[in-house]
Amino acid sequence: MKVTYGKAISDALKEEMRRDEKVLIYGEDVAEFGNIFGLTRGMLEEFGPKRIRNTPITETAIIGSAIGAAETGLRPCVELMYSDFTTVCFAEIFHCVSKWRYMHGPEYKLPLVIRNASGSANGAGSEHSNCVESLFMHSPGLTIVTPSCAYDAKGLLKSAIRSDNPVLFCEPKLLYQAKQEISDDVYNSDYTIPLGKADVKREGKDVTLVAVGLMVSRALEAAEKLAAEGIEVEVVDPRTIAPLDKETIFDSIRKTHRAAVVEESNKTAGIGAELVQEELYDELDGPVMRIAALDVPMPYNIPMEHYSIPDVNRIVETVRKML
């Protein structure tokens, strides 16, 4: 069966709501309207207004109340619509959500998932097109997840909802309609994907591309083009940005001795800055390259937007230069 990324998110939410009555969903326009992208459509009719409800447009209250709900034993999966809106409630996420489990001891649990649609969106502009993973990487205690395909999105979201740790779950907007072939038996099983475990999407021997979210499919396409030139690229998808599975990534780099990070967020202080050379200095035949968005606010103009984030050609050219 062919499954869209958006359907995988929707199905994961419904399956977890049916499995555990402590799971609840709320956020802006998630009930009657069914989320701005339609991912929660029909859930109000199935689960009722006590378990899925709309909120006022106040992200601070959404996160604050979700913390309280999680503290009392519920498992809230709240939605902030766009990832950009996490900055409105930054203090609640940065100080409270990420730190309180550590501060309050081993008996304290905070099973909270914060979903958000991230990244570029063909003309949404600079206030609705940001990737915020690297901002929150500076907040220890918060699990950060960015799935790149439907299979991973479903399995990772189910794991996030079942986790006793808070999770920031980032969903690249441009992937919602992307389809993936998944066997019926696998998709319809109650499978989960462990948080904190990277996945090698393509094996190679010449260069390691660590690609995040939307960039994974572009890295794979670039790898196919480079293979025609005799360059074998290994594509590693971290899936979980924090904690970062350095073991899988480093095993790949020890094999290829060259690495680049491909991400949709801005280059300066981005995710790629975390793949520091100090840990693998002797294994590298050159610096770790960073292929990221330009350090500019995201333009409204769609051709300019496309130019500002990495495309297949930019990935291909960077790998050629590395060799």
**Where are the chain's structural domains?**
2-187, 199-322
**52-61 — which CB contacts under 8 Å span 24+ positions?**
52/17, 52/24, 52/25, 52/26, 53/25, 53/26, 54/26, 54/27, 54/28, 54/29, 54/30, 55/26, 55/27, 55/28, 57/28, 59/85, 59/86, 59/88, 59/89, 60/88, 60/89, 60/92
Query: Among this protein's residues, is 305 annotated catalytic?
Result: no
289 SS3 class: strand
User: Where does 2-187 sit in CATH, by number?
Assistant: 3.40.50.970
- Give the gyration radius of the chain's Cα atoms: 19
Q: Both tokens of residue 241?
A: 């940005």
Each residue's pLDDT tens digit in the chain (323 positions)? 999 999 999 999 999 999 999 999 999 999 998 998 999 999 999 999 999 999 999 999 999 999 999 999 999 999 999 999 999 999 999 999 999 999 998 889 999 999 999 999 888 889 999 999 999 999 999 999 999 999 999 999 999 999 999 999 999 999 999 999 999 999 999 999 999 999 999 999 999 999 999 999 999 999 999 999 999 999 999 999 999 999 999 999 999 999 999 999 999 999 988 777 788 889 999 999 999 999 999 999 999 999 999 999 999 999 999 99
Q: Does residue 217 contact residue 311 with C-beta atoms inside 8 Å?
A: no
Check 16, 59, 171, 234 and give the catalytic one.
Answer: 59
Q: Which residues contact 176 (CB under 8 A, 6 or more apart)?
A: 4, 5, 6, 9, 37, 39, 117
* Domain 2-187 shares a fold with domain 199-322: yes
At residue 278, the pLDDT reads 82
Strands 113-118 and 167-172: parallel
CA–CA separation, 291 and 233 (whole Å) = 15
Q: Does residue 77 contact residue 161 with C-beta atoms inside 8 Å?
A: yes
- DSSP-derived secondary structure for 169-204: EEEEGGGTT-EEE--HHHHTS-----TT--EEEE--
Check 128, 171, 264, 305 and give the catalytic one.
Answer: 128
> For residue 294, with 0-12 CB atoms within 10 Å meaning exposed, 13-18 middle and 19 or more buried, which class applies?
middle
Nearest to 263 by CA among 301, 214, 314: 214
Helix (H) or strand (E) holding 66: helix 59-71
User: Where does 199-322 sit in CATH, by number?
Assistant: 3.40.50.920
Supply the pTM of this predicted model.
0.96
Query: Among this protein's residues, is 59 annotated catalytic?
Result: yes
